[in-house]
Structure 1
Amino acid sequence: MEDVPDPQVPERARRRTYTAKYKRDILTEYESLNRQGRGALLRREKLYTSLVSSWRDQRDKGVLAALARPAGAPPASAAEKDAARLRKENLRLSGELETARQVIAIQGKLSALLDQLSTNSSETNTEK
Structure 2
Amino acid sequence: MTMTLADAAQIDDGVVTPRADRPKRRTFTAEYKAAILAEYDAADRGERGSILRREGLYSSHIVEWRKAAEAGAASALGPKARERRDREVEQLRIRAERAEAELARTRAALDIVGKAHALLETLSESTGTAKPPKR
Query: TM-score by structure 2 length?
Result: 0.50
Aligned positions of 1:22-101 closer than 5 A: 23-33=33-43, 37-38=44-45, 40-44=46-50, 45-46=52-53, 48-59=58-69, 61-62=73-74, 74=86, 76-77=89-90, 79-101=91-113
User: Cα 1:103–1:87, aligned 2, differ >3 Å: closer, same or farther?
Assistant: same
The answer to which structure has the higher helix fraction is 1
The one of 114, 126, 130 equivalent to 1:102 is 114
* TM-score, normalised relative to structure 1: 0.52
Name the residue aligned to 2:133. none
For structure 1, list consecutive stretches of 5 or more residues without a partner in the other structure: 1-11, 118-128
Displacement of 1:19 after TM fit? 5.6
CA offset at residue 110 of structure 1? Answer: 0.6
User: Relative to structure 1, is the Cα distance of residues 95 and 30 closer, same or farther in structure 2, using a 3 angstrom cutoff?
Assistant: same
Tell me the distance in 2 between the aligned counterparts of 1:84 and 1:43: 52
Cα root mean square deviation, aligned: 4.0
Q: Does structure 2 retain, via aligned residues, the 8 Å contact 1:42–1:49?
A: no
Q: Structure 1's 57 and 89: CA in aligned 2 closer, same or farther, altered over 3 A?
A: same
C-alpha displacement of 1:90: 0.6
Gaps of 5+ in 2: 1-20, 130-135
Q: Structure 1 residues 116, 18: closer, same or farther in 2, change over 3 A?
A: closer
2:102 aligned partner, one-letter code = N
1:112 aligned residue: 124
Q: Which structure's relative contact order is higher, taking Cα pairs within 8 Å and 6+ residues apart?
A: 2
